[in-house]
Amino acid sequence: MKFRALDLGFGEVNIRFMGPLHRAINLIVALTLVALGCAGVVYFYFIATIWNRGLAVAAGIVAVAGLYWLWDEYVHKWPESDS
């Protein structure tokens, strides 16, 4: 994968080596979002005695964002990512 740098005098930059590193970082971030979001939902719905409903909704949104990130990166393979 190559892209043009903003400075045209610099030429093209090869970023193919970032593939495995990029996927590992995406996996770590997505799993962190899922874990923190689900833990927040469990805490705010079942453990906390006084809580703001917005915090539980925000934790749910974080969990859904993490699940979507995992689905987009690992479950649903885009056709152009195989080339």
The span from the CA of 3 to the CA of 63, in Å, is 33
Which helix or strand (DSSP H or E) is residue 3 part of? strand 2-4
- Give residue 83's pLDDT: 47
Res. 63: pLDDT tops 90: yes
**pLDDT grade for 7, boundaries at 50, 70 and 90:** low
CA distances from 8 to 11, 12, 13, 17, 79 (A): 6, 8, 11, 22, 30
Mean pLDDT for the stretch of residues 60-75: 89
| pTM exceeds 0.75 for this model | no
Question: pLDDT tens digit string along 14-51?
Answer: 556 667 778 888 889 999 999 999 999 999 888 887 87
